Structure 1
Amino acid sequence: MSVDDHKIIHRAISHMASQAQDIVVVGEASTGEEALDYIEALRPTIVLMDLNMPGIGGIEATERITAEYPHIEVIIVSAHTHEPYPSRAFAAGASGFLCKDCEETEMLKAIRRVHAGGRYISAEIAGDLSARLVGGVARSPFDELSEREMSVALKITAGHTTQRIADMLHISPNTVSTYRRRIYDKLAVANDVELTLAAFRHGLVGDVLDS
């Protein structure tokens, strides 16, 4: 099953599967919520999950899928490969992490390895994780945010209004405001402008521009 808000990604994954006799795409979803709705009926063995999507986002969806369906493995396929995303993904229960521009052969290798009970991480992502584990990469204050707080923070920095964020995440505007206050406190910022600048400084600018 593939979960991504871009149809071109679904087409690419379907093409890849058509070249492999042992892999079948049982369904597609464009949001994390859709994935959770479809999984009960489709019962996929592996879910290929994007990170940056409307709604709850890939990491929160991964956390819920792996908690509710422990027999289903999730492989993250994302353009956002820098920290804190890989660490958050594995903490949420993902079994693999691929760059979105990886070759079809690598994706097939990852699917087969995870299906066999292993894990798979693209080489460049593995290098960044190793550096972080041995202390070569400084921790980001964004690491202190919960998955929902991170999702709200990125939507704020993308310029979405409180009401729009509430609609995207299916929560109330008051709840969005509560998350905003928590984010400000954890990041020691006073307003949305300072939050956006902090996201830029800590390498999240790509996510800001794409959210």
Structure 2
Amino acid sequence: MIRVVLVDDHQLVRCGIRRILDEAAEIEVVAEAEDGESAMAEVRRLRPDVVLLDVHMPGVGGLEATTRLLRIDPELRIIALTVHVDEPYPSRLLGAGALGYLTKGCDEAEIIRAIHSVMHGRRYISDEIARQMALSGLDGHAANPFERLSRREVQVMLMVTEGRRLQEISDRLCLSPKTVSTYRYRLYDKLGVSNDVELTRLAIRHGLLDQAP
């Protein structure tokens, strides 16, 4: 059996995916988690084969969770399951070690194909996301300024645009408040914005946030 942990902050989404996987042969959902911290605890406890991971979660987001989960178990196969199809999300997650990247609009058969594919050590990227990545590479332009950010800068940016306070970001990322402030102003400089509101609007414009505050 392929042992799977589901990670998503929406219980309804987890229930829907679990229903799909419960009907699939050779796949067993061994646990569910609502955030990155809970996912790490379940991976330490159960040592599953595959983690289906939502990219945009409260607390430790999908990018940081991927990095930390693979530190716990380098053999773990992670599939990102998300509404975000635009860069830099796919490249960042795959660069962090995820083997799969699916949209939440994929059908039941594709989720199962992806799980079997990563179990054989092969990457699985949905057609829609692969097309977006290819177009981004072909364009070769700075249409998405977030592609220039480092992994840590992306983490800080996501938490800032979620409205997280300085101390919370510091605690979550194990950085000093001064270092977080340095990252924040570096983001402003790289992205050509002057405050958090402009940063959030830019993230919305490029599809990195679901809705305006």
Q: TM-score range by the shorter chain?
A: 0.7 to 0.9
- Is 1:124–2:128 an aligned residue pair? yes
Task: Note the C-alpha offset of 1:160.
Answer: 4.1
Matching of residues 85-100 of structure 1 within 5 Å: 85-100=89-104
Q: Deviations over 1:156-185 (max 9, x none)?
A: 334444355456657664444233222223
What is the match of residue 62 of structure 2?
A: 58
Match of 1:181 in 2: 185
Alignment RMSD (CA, Å) = 2.3
- The alignment status of 1:104 with 2:108, answered yes or no, reads yes
For 1:86, the aligned partner's letter is P
Q: Per the alignment, in what secondary structure is the counterpart of residue 26 of structure 1?
A: strand
Contact 2:188–2:199 at 8 Å: present in 1 too? yes
Partner of 1:33: 37
Name the CA distance, whole Å, in 2 between partners of 1:201 and 1:75: 26
Give CA deviations for 1:118-150 in whole Å, capped at 9, x if unaligned: 111111111111112233664522123233432
Identity of aligned residues (%): 47
Residue identity opposite 2:34 in structure 1: S
Selected match of 1:162 from 156, 162, 166: 166
Which residue in the other structure is 1:134 paired with? Answer: 138
User: Which of 17, 22, 25 is residue 26 of structure 2 equivalent to?
Assistant: 22
Aligned match for 1:43, one of 34, 40, 47: 47
Residue in 2 that maps onto 1:79: 83
CA distance in 2, matches of 1:122, 1:111: 12
Query: Hey, what's the Cα distance between the residues in 2 that align with 1:43 and 1:52?
Result: 23
**TM-score for the superposition, normalised by structure 2:** 0.86
Please say which of residues 70-79 and 132-141 is displaced more in the overlay: 132-141
Which of the pair is proportionally richer in strand? Answer: 2
Q: Alignment partner of 1:27: what SS?
A: strand
1:34 shift after superposition: 1.5
- TM-score normalized with structure 1 length: 0.86
